[in-house]
Amino acid sequence: MTIKHLNHGHRQRLRDRLLQSGPDAMAPDELIELILFLSIPRGDVKPIAKKLWQRYGTFQELIDRPIDELKQLSGLGDQTIATLKTIHALAVQLTSPTKQQKPLLTAFDQLIKYVRLRMTPFECEHYLVFYLNARHQVLYEDIQTQGGVNAVLIHPKAMMRQALNCSASGLMLFHNHPSGRAMPSEQDDQITTKLQTMCHSLEIELVDHVIITQDSYYSYQEKNQSYVS
């Protein structure tokens, strides 16, 4: 039997096991193999799948990686990278609170996962604002890419204008710390205090300001009740 036939048989066995037993019956590197089958129609991709799993350890880490980084990895061509980035885009869409229309505060764990998908790949600080109705459902979300490596430029007046434009009753602010430390800086404290004052004057609720990293987060609502209402 030729190597070509052996590879075809292996691919078919993996597909059959997925269809018959579901994804829980598959090892993580086998699921990556199945993804690679979509973009690499021939050959043995098992070594590539194993190396990717050993390098990144989670699916989120893999699909989050910048395109330039993925291009440096042996065995990954443009088609495979495009497939991984398509999966990433679908994951963002599926977890988006604007699609689910569930109250934010009853689905906080899901919200954290969604924000991580959106923000942790960035090498500079970004901020993401959710504008909410009275039931804490998302009316509009806005992500801003302004900022440097260690600071993000937040414009409270622009946030207030947007809140009024979409008739928001509340807002929730997230921003990432690429350093990996989910602790507020003095500037973060000052911005939170200023936002709280401006929101209060317009009868808009500042639900929370959350600093997020790949592995943790800091919530002003949870840690310091005096900052947010």
Complete DSSP assignment for 14-69: HHHHHHHH-GGGS-HHHHHHHHHHHH--SS--HHHHHHHHHHH-SHHHHHHS-HHH
Strand partners, 209: 173
In terms of Cα–Cα distance, which of 12, 84, 21, 13 is closest to 48? 84
Contact (CB, 8 A) for 100 and 107: yes
pLDDT at 101: 56
The one-letter amino acid code at 57 reads: G
pLDDT score of 3: 46
Q: Is the pLDDT of residue 31 over 60?
A: yes
pLDDT averaged over the chain? 82
Residue 7 has pLDDT above 80, yes or no: no
Region of 141 please: left (phi>0), alpha (psi -120 to 50) or beta: beta
Please tell me the distance from the alpha carbon of residue 53 to that of residue 51, in angstroms, as a whole number: 5
Predicted confidence (pLDDT) at residue 2 exceeds the cutoff of 50: no
Tens of pLDDT along 132-183?
A: 998 888 888 888 765 554 455 677 888 899 999 989 999 999 988 888 888 9
Tens of pLDDT, residues 66-91: 888 888 888 888 998 898 888 888 87
Portion of the chain with pLDDT greater than 90, in percent: 18
Higher pLDDT pick, 192 / 104: 192
Confidence bin at 1 (pLDDT 50/70/90): very low
Instruction: Please report which confidence band the pLDDT of residue 10 belongs to, taking 50, 70 and 90 as the band edges.
Output: confident
Which residue did the predictor score with more confidence, 24 or 120? 24
Sign, CA torsion 147/151/157/159: positive
Task: Choose between 22 and 204: higher pLDDT.
Answer: 204
Q: Report the range out of 48-62, 111-125, 190-204, 214-228 with the highest average pLDDT.
A: 190-204
Percent of the chain surpassing pLDDT 70: 83
What single-letter DSSP state applies at residue 127? E
CA–CA gap between residue 215 and residue 16 (Å, rounded) = 35
Dihedral in degrees, nearest 10, Cα atoms 79, 80, 82, 83: 120
Distances (CA, A) of 164 to 155, 159, 168, 193: 15, 9, 6, 20
pLDDT score, position 164? 92
Which segments of 105-185 does DSSP mark as H helices, in order? 108-119, 156-165
SS3 142: strand
